[in-house]
Amino acid sequence: MLRCDELRAGYGPVVALHGISLTVSQGEIVTLIGANGAGKSTTLKAIIGLVVPTGGRIALGPDRIDGLPPEAVARRGVALVPEGRRIFPGLTVQENLEVGTAAWDARRAERAAEMEKVFALFPRLAERRRQLGWSLSGGEQQMLAIGRALMSRPKLLLLDEPSLGLAPIVVEEVFRLIETVNRAGMTILLVEQNAAMALRAAHRGYVIERGRVVTEGPAARLIADPEVVAAYLGA
């Protein structure tokens, strides 16, 4: 589904990615793990078009998407749940979700149908559909951010640090929801500082250091890799 070949990108004179290559197949959860500043979030931003690659290739299915603006990438079926959630605090839950349909020309009936799918996945959002975004808990705001992304009917969901700022018990709930979304058919590329949780949820993983992939493989193998354990799993 997604393929990045020798992806290079940065911020002005600062090079953040030095030839990242990765794949995500239909139905997978693939995670990128690594230290802060390793290039994980920059990889997502390059895929969605928020950072313009300076080299390499990004393809979604047969189509190249590298260099396209974010709105064009979204129309091709990629949605990003950004770090920090970034919901609209002054809008209701329902209004926040409706924002997610901006990537496609949604009629009222189609918006309603997509919203019911989101509410089926996240019943708590249905209960709070008329509440303002600011009044939700951190975990509920993360549900809302994921639901808003799903309203765009993506083929690929990019998740950037979904556990950031959440209590451990809420993190566990959020990861259960991510797995539920995946079981419903969504393909996911996950960036997460909590490497243990990410690898338990994922099918495969890539370890990124200083803008380069240093190891990759099935999540179960990475969890058992002594070097990965020592560097990222707290042993």
Q: How far apart are CA 50 and CA 130, in angstroms?
A: 31
Cα atoms found within 13 Å of the Cα of residue 17, Cβ hemisphere only? 27
Residue 235 has pLDDT above 60, yes or no: no
List for the chain the helix, strand, coil content (%; round to 5). 40, 25, 30
Rounded Cα distance, 232 and 206, in Å: 12
The per-residue DSSP string of 148-199 comes to HHHTT--SEEEEE-TTTT--HHHHHHHHHHHHHHHHTT-EEEEE-S-HHHHH
Q: What is the pLDDT of residues 91-149, one digit of tens each?
A: 999 999 988 887 666 666 677 888 888 999 889 999 999 999 999 988 899 889 999 99
CA distance 20 to 167: 32
Task: Please give the structure tokens belonging to residue 60.
Answer: 């979604």
Is residue 190 over pLDDT 90? Answer: yes
What is the identity of the amino acid at 126? A
107 in helix, strand or coil?
coil
Q: How confident is the model at residue 187 (pLDDT cuts 50, 70, 90)?
A: very high
List beta partners, residue 204. 30, 218
Q: Which domains does the chain have, with CATH numbers?
A: 2-232 (3.40.50.300)
- pLDDT at residue 212 is higher than 80: yes
